[in-house]
Structure 1
Amino acid sequence: MITMYGIPNCDTIKKARKWLEANQIEYRFHDYRKDGLDETQLKNWVSELGWETLLNKRGTTWRQQPEEIKKAIDETSAISLMLEYPAMIKRPLIDTGSVRLVGFKDTEYSALFDI
């Protein structure tokens, strides 16, 4: 089963959900805020994708962080921040079981799902 991770009010999540539904791809939605975030799973994603790929530095939550945190960011502190503030994780994160994809581009989704 495909799982989409994110927060429901995100515009990019809405676009990705609309694309999946339009292409009749079944998925389960995992809301970080409501359903939580597993530290082991996040660490596995970081190992596979890199913390730089997962950390959303464009969002409000990142911009609200003190400068000393932003300047000293590394893998360990990024993981801690993403666990504390799941909205800092780029979205959506699609997990097919064998492939993880971060963000939404219809061309990448088309390639991933052979459409």
Structure 2
Amino acid sequence: MITLYGLKNCDTCRKVLKLLENANFIDVRSEGVPEETLKAAFEQFGAALANTRSTTWRNLSDEERAKPVLELLVEHPALMKRPLIEQGGVLYLGWDKATQAALI
């Protein structure tokens, strides 16, 4: 079972969903990411879990940007780099060649 965490209006997430037809899609803006999954992703990817090139990031104040990454992601789920993919307890972040090779 593959679970894809992303945004329904994200072009990359839509592209990945077409390729991974049996994936369970979870929109992080409306449903969020389970706390244990988010913590595991942070342990694995660290600060790279936050998309600092996003509009959400640019709209944050300096005080908000200084908050811990996990706290920011709970408050602003759209700030998460996408997609976050979980398969059999293994997490993948983004849709690079290594992730594609592992999942397709």
TM-score, structure 1 as length reference: 0.79
- Percentage identity across aligned positions? 42
Q: In structure 2, how many angstroms separate the alpha carbons of the residues matched to 1:47 and 1:86?
A: 17
After TM superposition, give the deviation of residue 46 of structure 1 in Å.
Answer: 0.7
Q: What TM-score comes out, normalization by structure 2 length?
A: 0.86
* Counterpart check, 1:40 vs 2:28: no
Which consecutive residues of structure 1, in runs of 5 or more, have no partner in the other structure? none
Partner of 2:82: 91
Aligned-partner Cα distance in 2 for 1:37–1:96: 15
Larger Rg: 1
Larger RCO: 1 or 2 (CA < 8 Å, sep 6+): 1
Partner of 1:53: 48
Change in CA separation of 1:98 and 1:14 when aligned onto 2, cut-off 3 Å: same
Q: Which of 94, 100, 104 does residue 91 from structure 2 map onto?
A: 100
Matched position secondary structure for 2:33? coil
Partner of 2:17: 17
Cα shift readout 1:11-70 (whole Å, capped 9, x = no counterpart): 11112122324xxxx2100111222332232112111221x2210101111000112433
Q: Report the 3-state secondary structure (helix = DSSP H, G, I; strand = E; otherwise coil) of the residue aligned with 2:3.
A: strand
- Structure-1 separation of matches of 2:63 and 2:87: 37
Give the number of equivalent residue pairs.
Answer: 104
Gaps of 5+ in 2: none
For the pair 1:81 / 2:76, whether they are aligned, the reply is no
| Aligned-partner Cα distance in 2 for 1:97–1:56 | 25
- Mapped to 2, the partners of 1:31 and 1:98 lie a distance apart of 19
Shift of the alpha carbon at 1:86? 0.4
Q: Which residue of 2 aligns with 1:30?
A: 26
Indicate how the Cα distance of structure 1 residues 67 and 8 shifts in structure 2: closer, same or farther if over 3 A, else same: same
